[in-house]
Structure 1
Amino acid sequence: MAREPRIVAELGRPETSEETAVRKAANTRAYRESQNFRNLIVALLATLAIVVVIFLVVPRGGPGAHRSIDPAAAAQAAEGAYGRSVIVPHVPEPEGDRGNGWFVNDARVVDGEIAQWEVLYVPGDSSFLRFVQGFDGDATWAAQQLGGTAPSGEVEIAGVVWQTYDVDPSANKNVTYALGTQAGADHLLLYGTSSPDKTAEVAEMIAPQVRALTEESE
């Protein structure tokens, strides 16, 4: 016995073959679109999971992750190569529990008409401070290192008299302040973007070595 065609409520009559084909095609399209949406959500969740894993696994550095180099070994090599004493400003102790203190970024001799022993400090903030000992340098050499800047005054720190320099940062690689003094045959400079107080902190640290270098040349 033949089955009577199903009456569609919306039509009030049985579907034609063409209407049946259209309905099935629409259902198929809707199903595929829903599957694509599900796949997209699954892909986004998988990507998010990967990002979270990478974030948790990959080590991230912080303010305490800086590793200071020891300038003493480089200083010893410089003394042997040039046959003279060099000053080695030591790194101040870290400040606070997180160790956000000073660290040394570089220590080396730079050859030139006047060889220079240099130690580059980063005082635990966004500034920098460079110590330079110019072998057989003088005040003229110091002014050249600072773009022709002349001393603006002087200050005594731990028994050593230093010339002060207020430097134009736009013409001198962002350098804003400097101290300079003669120690025997050599001239010493402390300069950078650090504050006068931080610069004076290093000047006070090296005062005994500055006096010893001066006495050595007498």
Structure 2
Amino acid sequence: MARAQGEPRIVAELGRPETPEETAARKAANTQAYRGSKNVRNLLVALAVTVAIVVVMFLIVPRGDLPEQASIAPGPVAAEAAKEFGTVLVPALPGEAANWRINAAEVVPGDPASWEIVYVPEGDGFLRFAQGFEADETWAARKLGGTTPSDEVEIGGLTWQVYDVDPEDNGNVAHALGTQAGADHILLYGSTSAALTAEVAEMIAPQVRALAEEQE
């Protein structure tokens, strides 16, 4: 039988018309459900926008190898170090060394302190030059994790101690050469080949001899 106009709507679940309180509760529940679905839609839209921005940034940002670190000029640092420690050597590395990069040039505190330069040859690891002030080969052994000389070799008219270093225990250092220069000790060490280390030793031999003569 049709419901007369103006009569309260009978709710099937209740079998009777809704009370005003039930009507208000139903409308409140519907409103809350609508708002909840709207929040979910807004969240999905925001997530889609975020993903789109990330994709755009990924596409427009240049990719490739990181720019190579600029080489450090050791001269000014050496001049400052010389004010406190006297003559400090800045190895002159001619020829192919013109393509080498210098990653560090600094005085390393210690007992004794040392003046150190880190060279990065093209495609051949790194090589560190160290001048220990008032040092000897015991200082060199400490720098090399307790490694003692395994041999001696004459390079550039100087006698150099040869160190065969275990790279796993010494920061990839695999080979080293050391020699006395008056009161100071000169050490070349790094991950470069033994042949390249010997080449550098020969290149700097005149400077090492001059330092030894100066300190006599």
Q: Normalising to structure 2: TM-score of the pair?
A: 0.68
Task: State the match for 1:205 in structure 2.
Answer: 203
Residue number among 79, 82, 88 corresponding to 1:76 in the alignment? 79
| 1:1-218 correspondence to structure 2 within 5 Å | 51-55=58-62, 61=66, 65-82=68-85, 84-90=86-92, 92=94, 101-125=99-123, 127-218=125-216
Counterparts of 1:79 and 1:154 in 2: how far apart (Å)? 30
Counterpart residue identity of residue 90, structure 2: V
Q: CA RMSD in A?
A: 2.7
> Contact 2:105–2:117 at 8 Å: present in 1 too?
yes
Where does the alignment leave 5 or more consecutive residues of structure 1 unmatched? 1-42
Counterparts of 1:46 and 1:77 in 2: how far apart (Å)? 50
Partner deviation per Cα, 1:125-159 (whole Å, 9 max, x = no partner): 25111111100001111111111211111222222
Counterpart residue identity of residue 75, structure 1: A
Q: Normalising to structure 1: TM-score of the pair?
A: 0.68
Where does the alignment leave 5 or more consecutive residues of structure 2 unmatched? 1-48
1:69 Cα offset (Å): 0.7
1:53 Cα offset (Å): 3.3
Counterparts of 1:211 and 1:146 in 2: how far apart (Å)? 23
Counterparts of 1:87 and 1:79 in 2: how far apart (Å)? 9
Superposition misfits of 4+ residues, deviation over 3 angstroms: 43-53, 58-62, 90-95
Corresponding pairs, count: 169
Counterparts of 1:149 and 1:191 in 2: how far apart (Å)? 12
- Partner of 2:61, secondary structure, is helix
